Structure 1
Amino acid sequence: MSDQLITNIVFIDSAIPDYQALIVGLTNNSTYFVLEAQKDGIVLASIEN
């Protein structure tokens, strides 16, 4: 496990064209969740955390 402090939480809509480029551009102190249109994003964020 990393000792790095997470200071940014980012939610990314998978419907955005080339959303992977957004992920690549995130800073090291960020964590992200990719939201899928077919699923409840709030539930996914709760489960993954």
Structure 2
Amino acid sequence: MVPLILVLLLILLLFGAGFALKALWWVAVVLLVLWLLGFVARPKSSRGRWYRW
């Protein structure tokens, strides 16, 4: 009974980690697209960077 519970917990843990990693990949892709759009659509009046840091 204990090995069955351990295997089920391992499967649940791996499923959760896989879902979290896939979600993080999508967040990274969205941020990359937003950064590229900001780089391309920067105002022409500013000579330097398009962001204010």
TM-score (norm 1): 0.27
Taking CA–CA contacts closer than 8 Å with sequence separation of 6 or more, which of the two structures ends up with the larger relative contact order? Answer: 1
Larger Rg: 1 or 2? Answer: 2
TM-score (norm 2): 0.26
The structure with the greater share of residues assigned to strand is 1
